[in-house]
Structure 1
Amino acid sequence: MTDSVLQSPNLKLAADSNQVLNYKRDPQNYITQLFGEQLPAIKNGFFNAHLSKGIIVQPHWHTNVTEMVYVISGEVITSVFNPFEQRLMTYHLKPGQVSIFPKGWFHWIVAETDHAHILTIFDHPTPDIVYGSDFLASIPKEVMQRAYCINEQEYARAVAPIRESVILGPPVECAPNQLNTRYPNHMGYYSQHHHQY
């Protein structure tokens, strides 16, 4: 089996993963990338994510790839929903440790320390991503009421602040005291249910 990319006279086998900015929340929280578009010879691809304590890579899933999270520095908590056992699997990772998000499984990552640096490595050079914010904002309130008996107006109010894809959250305009009011024990769950390595 021949690979035409490897036989190209313009073959490149090195690239700078800091050159392409994928998303920037602020100077301490941003994602760069390296995929097939930047390096045709690559058979996988990755996001290079820099995070501050409390920042979340929002809930999402991939339709076409399995993802591996590798911690370079700092600490993160990864969570993935296991659809076969109907349970959340949560891991507290330190440098050199990894966790896996199988293709199609809903997952997210929370930085436990400042200066967390992770690679999210995919088994395909271009991942499809479905963001939870887009999914939630697009579901009609009538559907949520019919499916889950959720009050239509309350649901509409709850998702009204989602005006765009929130890749690294919370949104900049969300004040810390507002976050703590909405989710008083948002990290308490993790301290009781995560696996330490």
Structure 2
Amino acid sequence: MLQDFVLQSPDLVLKADSNVTLSYKRDSRNYITQVFAEQLPAVKTGFFNVHMSKGIIIQPHWHTNVTETLVVITGKVKTSVFNPFTQERMTYKLGPGQVSVFPRGWFHWIVAKSDDVHLLAIFDRPTPDIVYGSDFLRSIPKEIMNRAYGVNEEDYVKAVAPIQESVILGPPVSGATQPW
């Protein structure tokens, strides 16, 4: 039997406040806090505590090393995940108490469909890697988009120009939005 030395520590703490460690803040209504091993060494998983207002999106992204389980606490969201085996998008409307799973490596996103959304994004490992679509898109050279997909180079440059940094809770503050 493997011994868990963290649990044998004389300084063992088995609680944490999920409101303390800020992971990302867009504004006072849209922010993410967290509890992972750094905040609670005895935890074998971790989670993001997410707060969103209507129309805000957790941008398209994927995790290279974890499966994510999303639990809606309050509000309504629409989740979408791209199934790499069927090449289809799977979309779900969720409310309080409902759950969605995003398997490791599957591209997914979440849109707040009401104000005062609160959800937990729980991971099966204590340190999730995250690849953001915004980072991926802005790093692809215009010549590659043209060669691979026939996308007009100037159109591509214009399309990704508003993406100046990682967009976690979008749209970008400076960007225009369309109703969805």
- Bin for the TM-score computed over the shorter chain: over 0.9
1:86 alignment counterpart: 87
1:194 alignment counterpart: none
Q: Equivalent residues in 2 for 1:52-63 (5 A)?
A: 52-63=53-64
2:177 alignment counterpart: 179
1:134 alignment counterpart: 135
2:163–2:172 CA contact under 8 A, matched in 1: no
- Alpha-carbon distance, 1:161 to partner: 1.0
Residues 1:69 and 2:102 are matched in the alignment = no
TM-score (structure 2 length as normaliser): 0.98
Q: Equivalent residues in 2 for 1:96-107 (5 A)?
A: 96-107=97-108
Residues of 2 paired with 1:122 and 1:80: CA distance?
Answer: 16
Residues of 1 paired with 2:173 and 2:135: CA distance?
Answer: 18
Normalized per residue, the structure richer in helix is 1
- Alpha-carbon distance, 1:146 to partner: 0.4
Unmatched segments (≥5 aa) in structure 1: 181-185, 188-197
- Alpha-carbon distance, 1:112 to partner: 0.5
1:27 alignment counterpart: 28
Opposite residue 92 of structure 1, the aligned amino acid is K
Percent identity between the aligned chains?
A: 69
- Alpha-carbon distance, 1:173 to partner: 1.9
TM-score (structure 1 length as normaliser): 0.89
2:39 alignment counterpart: 38
SS at match of 1:11: coil
1:143 alignment counterpart: 144
- Partner deviation per Cα, 1:8-35 (whole Å, 9 max, x = no partner): 1111110001111000111100000110
Opposite residue 110 of structure 1, the aligned amino acid is V
Residues of 2 paired with 1:49 and 1:179: CA distance?
Answer: 21
SS at match of 2:177: helix
SS at match of 1:155: helix
- Alpha-carbon distance, 1:68 to partner: 0.3
User: How large is the RMSD of aligned CA atoms in angstroms?
Assistant: 0.8
Residues of 1 paired with 2:10 and 2:154: CA distance?
Answer: 61
Opposite residue 61 of structure 1, the aligned amino acid is W
Unmatched segments (≥5 aa) in structure 2: none
1:49 alignment counterpart: 50
- Alpha-carbon distance, 1:172 to partner: 1.6
1:116 alignment counterpart: 117
Opposite residue 38 of structure 1, the aligned amino acid is Q
1:183 alignment counterpart: none
Residues of 2 paired with 1:101 and 1:64: CA distance?
Answer: 12
2:81–2:102 CA contact under 8 A, matched in 1: yes
Figure out how many residues of one structure are paired with residues of the other and give that number.
Answer: 179
